[in-house]
A and B are shown apart, each in its own frame.
Chain A
Amino acid sequence: MSEAFSGPVAGHVPVLRLGDVLMVTLQGDLHDSTAQQLQQDLAETITHSGATGVIIDISGVEIVDSFLGRVLAEIAAQASLLAARTVVVGMRPAVAITLVELGLTLPGLRTALSTEVAMDLLTQGAPRVGVRRESP
């Protein structure tokens, strides 16, 4: 589909902070090692920053295989242990169709169609179970 040739991307994926929410944008074809690095980076960033939400934008990702699916699920699980909620944003329709056929429905993964909706979910939205955020 895309004519532009995008070479392998290795290294770190930038983690941006917007208030209490961390934002990550995945683009193109990720190395396994880059995905694993991101998983570690996010755990550390959540701990340091005290962020309560993580948004992972995968609208630029052409395929999610079982490896990347597992990394996303693990990021959500570890964020949850660190008192942050994760929303995966912008999954392409072809990716969703493929994941279901692959057998990966990722039930623990929260998704949203746009970053805006994800932000709403994380900043007000769904009831928090037994957690109250201190706000000024």
Chain B
Amino acid sequence: MPTGAGVEARLPIRSDMDLVWVRQHVRQAAAQLGFGLVDQTKLVTAASELARNTLVHGGGGHMESEPVVSGGVRGLRLTFSDEGPGIADVERALSDGYTSGGGLGMGLGGARRLVHDFAIETVPGAGTTVRVTSWTARPPRQREEH
């Protein structure tokens, strides 16, 4: 089983250049942990949405990346933190079509659908932390053949 070397990291999110680094890091970490191509793509896309939220709504922050193991299954956990204004109405922010940043309003709710585990903590005036985890295998999933 691979070690966490190269997966564990803390990346700043201060500019759209940093979004590119976040995506590159998540793709490489996910590939290293053995994620398939579709799952890599989903996780990188979710990371991109969440990092953009951290940048645009949170005024910048950082992402932490760490490998996790549960029941012999490897996973990648990503934590996005900012010290921005927080989210007043989380349920509303998670609903499709809700936007405060000029986007399509798919960011938060969409990111939640793209990962296996999703948790959000937000304190108005103090910041937001979103923690997501995806696993290289999900028990109920059937093998697909083409």
- Residue in B closest to A31 when the chains form the complex, CB atoms: B16
B17 and A102 form a contact (CB under 8 A): no
Q: How many A-B residue pairs have CB under 8 A?
A: 82
For B17, give its contact among A8, A63, A94 (CB under 8 Å): A8
B40 and A102 form a contact (CB under 8 A): no
B113 and A103 form a contact (CB under 8 A): yes
Contact with A along B16-40 (1 / 0, CB 8 A): 1101110110010001000001101
B21 and A101 form a contact (CB under 8 A): no
B110 and A102 form a contact (CB under 8 A): yes
The answer to whether the Cβ of A1 comes within 8 Å of any Cβ in the partner chain is yes
Contacts of A67 in B (CB 8 A): 48, 52, 103
B48 and A63 form a contact (CB under 8 A): yes
- Residue in A closest to B38 when the chains form the complex, CB atoms: A94
Instruction: Give complex CA distance A32, B101 in Å.
Output: 14
B107 and A98 form a contact (CB under 8 A): no
Main secondary structure, interface of B, reads helix
Instruction: Give complex CA distance A58, B110 in Å.
Output: 21
Contacts of B113 in A (CB 8 A): 101-103
Contacts of B44 in A (CB 8 A): 62-63
For A97, give its contact among B23, B24, B27, B38 (CB under 8 Å): B38
Contacts of B41 in A (CB 8 A): 62-63, 92, 94-95, 97-98
Given A8-B20, A32-B19, A104-B106: A1 touches B45 (CB 8 Å cut-off): no
Interface size on A, residues (CB 8 A): 28
Contacts of B68 in A (CB 8 A): none
- Residue in A closest to B55 when the chains form the complex, CB atoms: A32
B37 and A66 form a contact (CB under 8 A): no
For B45, give its contact among A5, A30, A65 (CB under 8 Å): A65
A103 and B96 form a contact (CB under 8 A): yes
B20 and A29 form a contact (CB under 8 A): yes
The answer to whether the Cβ of A70 comes within 8 Å of any Cβ in the partner chain is yes
Instruction: Give complex CA distance A61, B40 in Å.
Output: 14
Contact with A along B41-71 (1 / 0, CB 8 A): 1101100110010000000000000000000
Q: 8 Å CB contacts to B: which residues of A53-105?
A: 62-67, 69-70, 92-95, 97-98, 101-104
Could you list which residues of chain A lie within 8 angstroms of chain B, going by C-beta atoms?
1, 5-6, 8, 10, 29-33, 62-67, 69-70, 92-95, 97-98, 101-104
